[in-house]
Amino acid sequence: MNQTTVERKVKSVGIGLHTGEPIEITIEPLESDQGIVFYRKDKQTTIEAKPQNVVNTQMATVIGKGDAVISTIEHLLSAIYAYGIDNVYITIDGPEVPVMDGSAISFCMMLDEAGIRMLPKSKKILMIKESVEVKEGEKFVRLSPSKNFTNYDFVISFDHPVIGTQCYNFQFSKKAYLREIAKARTFGFLRDVQYLRSKNLALGGSLDNAVVLDDYKILNSEGLRYKDEFVRHKILDAMGDLSLLGMPFLGSYKAFAGSHKLNHLLTKELLKDKSRYEIKYFEEIQEFSFAKAYS
C-alpha cells in the first residue's frame, strides 16, 4: 500500500467561524514524503501540519509560524486522515479554515471531487508500542497498543438535559467514517456567544454551521443528525488532532472529556520517547486491514 495525494486541484469558499469573513481554500497534490502542508496566501507563509507548529488549542487547533496562524484545521484534517491522504498542499487566504456546515462532510465532498492518486513510495504507519496518557483532573486521553485496526472510544459528560453523558466506540474505516462521523457538527452554548463575540471570536457562528443549545434545548429547527451527535463530533475532532502525527497510527485511542489541548499534549508526549512507538512501512507489517479500511 503506497502513499497517496489528491488527483487534481479543487477549490471552495466558506465562512470563517471566528472571523465571519469569506475564506477561499484550495487543495492540490504533493509528492511523496511531503506531508500535509498549509500555505497562508495573504501572509505568504508555509506551515506544516506538525505538533511543533501548534500555537493554540483553546477554541480549536491552531498552527502558526511568526505572525501567520491558521485556525480550526481539525475538521479538514479529520477528512484528509479518513481518506488516507498522506501528502497534500492546502492554500488558505485568511487566518482559519472555513467552517462550512460545522462538520467534515463538505471537505469529504471536496476530496471526492479531487480524487486520490497513488504515489511511488510506500505508506508509513506509526505503531503504538506502549500506552501513553495525558490527564487534567478527571479528563484524560490515552493511546494504547492494539492488534486490531485503529479504534476510537470517547465519553463526554455535560450538565445539560440534551447532552448528559454520551459514549461512542468507533472502529475506523473510511466507509464507517462517512456513515457515522463525518456529518457530526461542532456545538456550542448560546450563553457563551456574547462572551466569545466580545473577544472577536465566533463572529461567523450560526445555526447553519453549529448545533446551538440554550439551557434546555437545541435551537436548530432541523434537530440533530445523530442522537449522539455531540460525542461523534468529539471523535471527528480527535481524528483531526491526531493526524498531526504525520501518518496513520495502529493503536487504540480512549478519552473522557478529551479536548484539543489534551490531544495536542498527547501527540507531544508520545513523540517525546521513541520507545513508545515504531514507524514502519506498510509492507513490513502486512497490515492488510489498512488497505481494506481505506477502500
Residue type, 150: T
- Where helices occur in the chain by DSSP H, the ranges are 74-82, 105-114, 174-180, 190-198, 229-242, 260-271, 282-285, 288-293
Which among 212, 216, 250, 255 is positioned nearest to 232, based on CA atoms? Answer: 255
Side chain identity at 287, as an amino acid letter? E
Alpha-carbon radius of gyration of the chain: 18
- Per-residue pLDDT, averaged over 121-129, amounts to 93
> How does pLDDT run across 30-77, given as a tens digit for each residue?
999 999 999 999 999 999 999 999 999 988 999 999 999 999 999 999
Mean pLDDT, the chain, rounded, equals: 93
Which of left, alpha, beta for 17 (phi over 0: left; psi -120 to 50: alpha)?
alpha
Q: Which domains does the chain have, with CATH numbers?
A: 2-122 (3.30.230.20), 125-293 (3.30.1700.10)
pTM higher than 0.85: yes
Q: Average pLDDT in the 269-284 region?
A: 91
Catalytic residue among 18, 75, 260, 264: 260
Active site residue 260: yes
Torsion of CA 34, 143, 155, 58, to 10 degrees: -50
- Among left, alpha and beta (phi > 0; psi -120 to 50; other), residue 134 is beta
Strands of the chain, DSSP E: 2-6, 10-15, 22-29, 36-40, 45-48, 54-56, 62-65, 68-70, 88-92, 116-122, 124-128, 132-136, 139-144, 151-157, 165-171, 187-189, 211-213, 249-250, 252-256, 277-281
pLDDT higher than 60, residue 228:
yes
For 187-214, the pLDDT digits (tens) are 988 888 777 777 766 667 788 899 999 9
